[in-house]
Amino acid sequence: LLPPTVRDNVQFYDADQMPLSEIVGAAAPDVVFHLATYYTTVHSPEEIDALIAANITFGTKLLDGMSQHGVQNFVYARSSWQHYHGDVYEPVNLYAASKEAFDAVVRFYESAYDLHTIRLTLFDTYGENDRRNKLLAVLPTLAAQGKRLALSKGEQRVDFVHVKDAARAFLLAGQYLAEGHIEQCGNYVVSSGHTITLKELVQRYETLLGVKFPVDWGEKPYRAREVMMPWRGGRILPGGERMYKELM
């Protein structure tokens, strides 16, 4: 999926063929960025093993490999869904609970191995060529096909950030650690800084693209444990500036 200009300048390792500790030793990174995840809104029993493997086991093996090779700088992604109802910790779903479990693993490696960590909590992201089954990604396709989409009333508030702004936040965090600014270690959010309703977001997207989306509002109930207001805690990483503000 990577363009040749990127792919030709990246060294790939297969964690199914080579232990993570050996990969860390071979790569000798200055900073490790951990974004691997398994996401599901409502899990099935069949998904539990994959969820735990991706969200807890993989990251733990990665951290252990870092500790074996003296790699101390670590940037990773958290989820705002770890903060249902705005609580310090209340998981929306099992996915969020697994992310919180990994937070505890990270704290151990910080204490035992002097790991330098910047945690970035993500809200919703959007951007061009999004292959995920996300609302802003599928709406233009549905409009082109003339298919209608049943949604809730759309009163839940959302916080969207363009994927390129999110990527810049991760790169800035990595730069801080690579340059030895360990005073920047801590917890931050990748956020627009405000919220709008989902219905307002879709209306803005229609205006931006000049397309009327075939949405039937109020035709579906809200999900169990629907997030009606995103967590408003946290702070923006110093120096983090958004470039894309056309939607929020």
d(CA 139, CA 143): 6
Tokens representing 153? 């009333």
d(CA 155, CA 12): 43
Global pTM value = 0.95
d(CA 227, CA 93): 11
d(CA 209, CA 232): 29
d(CA 102, CA 110): 12
Convert the pLDDT of each residue in 169-178 to its tens digit.
999 999 999 9
CA dihedral (215, 221, 223, 228) positive or negative = positive
- Report which secondary-structure segment, H or E, holds 74: strand 73-79
Banded pLDDT at 245 (limits 50, 70, 90): very high
The pLDDT, as a whole number, for residue 173 is: 99
Convert the pLDDT of each residue in 94-135 to its tens digit.
999 999 999 999 999 999 999 999 999 999 999 998 999 999
Closest CA to 71 of 107, 20, 26, 31: 31
Calculate the alpha carbon distances from 45 to 42, 72, 94, 183 in Å.
10, 36, 11, 42
82: pLDDT strictly greater than 80? yes
The pLDDT, as a whole number, for residue 87 is: 84
Q: Which domains does the chain have, with CATH numbers?
A: 14-131+160-193 (3.40.50.720)
CA dihedral (98, 33, 173, 241) positive or negative = negative
Closest CA to 68 of 19, 2, 3, 138: 19
The pLDDT, as a whole number, for residue 159 is: 98
Give the mean pLDDT of 35-63: 98
Convert the pLDDT of each residue in 146-192 to its tens digit.
999 999 999 999 999 999 999 999 999 999 999 999 999 999 999 99
Convert the pLDDT of each residue in 18-45 to its tens digit.
999 999 999 999 999 999 999 999 999 9
Banded pLDDT at 6 (limits 50, 70, 90): confident
Q: Which residues pair with 73 in a beta bridge?
A: 116
d(CA 164, CA 243): 8
CB-based contact 236:186 (threshold 8 Å): no
Other C-beta atoms within 10 Å of 115: how many?
Answer: 20
